[in-house]
Amino acid sequence: MLAIMILMGMVYKASAQEIYFCSNISDKGEPIGASVSWTLSDKGGYIYIYYTNHKKHIKSKSLIARIMKKTGGNYVNYERRAMELENDNTFASLDYQFIEAGNYKVTVQDNTGKDLAISYLTIITINKAEPNAIDSLTRDRQTAEHSKDPARGYYHARTIFCKTILNGLPTDTGSVFAAGEVNVIVVNNQPLAADSMIVDVFKKGYESEKYPIYITTKTMKIDRNQNRAGFILNIDQTGQYKIVSYNGRSQTISEGYLTIR
């Protein structure tokens, strides 16, 4: 009987959905250099948040990574980001930039808000000016054969807001608009080289300089040979907003700030 219970426990563990924090992802879709403790430079660094359903199809059409940071003994909301479904929808990843030291709780949720998996990690930062100082992420990514997307950081884009578009050009541009529809255009100095763009919208907190309130996520197909992509954002509540655009690998393209009055 005990042997049967142990076997059942092993099967459950093997089929459980899990989150890994890793430096890279192999061509077979497996995490490389996974760890729950990372030492980064004082400027932070990118770590893959890797969610796996162990080769089983993920039923949800989209996934959200809810990132919480421990403050005063409790985990409080830090950021929410869309994850990219990959490899026949059996795993998802988010190349996330951690910039602050501390303890984090990461929950992957489906499109209904149901928690699928939870994991914890610790971020430590060091001053790389110190002799012989090298952070664990740099070390792991240097030893990897190649990065999943070595083109990170090539974007020099800006986000433009306008009320109307005439002949393909934005008119009545600005950063302050009345409630309703606003055209958002992301313009780069070279082709975006991405087949899709993900946009997260956050609202500024009351008496705060941060944007902790998650509003929505939009995902759209774009022409990888074009240097711009646009969409319409409908905001009916007054306030200050941050609009962040990412490529299909969840790497930041541009940020823009908008006020609705």
Q: Kindly state whether residues 44 and 112 are assigned to the same domain.
A: yes
Same domain, 122 and 176: no
Domain count, the chain: 2
Residue 163 Rama label (left phi>0; alpha psi -120 to 50; beta) = alpha
Residue 153 lies in a domain: no
% of the chain exceeding 70 in pLDDT: 82
Give the DSSP H or E segment for 3.
helix 2-15
How far CA 198 is from CA of 21, 62, 85, 108, 178, in Å, comes to 21, 12, 12, 17, 24
Task: Examine the domain organization and report whether 41 and 91 are in the same domain.
Answer: yes
Pure H helices in 119-235: 136-143
- Does the residue 8 lie in any domain? no
Q: Read off the pLDDT of each residue in 87-92 and give the average, rounded to a whole number.
A: 80
Global confidence as pTM: 0.52
Range of the domain at 54: 16-143
Q: Are residues 186 and 241 in the same domain?
A: yes
Half-sphere exposure of 6 (CA within 13 A, CB side): 3
Q: Are residues 138 and 27 in the same domain?
A: yes
- For the stretch 184-216, pLDDT in tens is 999 988 888 888 888 989 888 877 778 888 888
Q: Are residues 212 and 133 in the same domain?
A: no
Q: What is the pLDDT of residue 180?
A: 92
The greatest distance separating any two alpha carbons of the chain, rounded to the nearest whole angstrom, comes to 75
Q: What is the mean pLDDT of residues 94-106?
A: 90
| 73 and 181 share one domain | no
CA distance linking residue 228 with residue 209, whole number of Å? 29
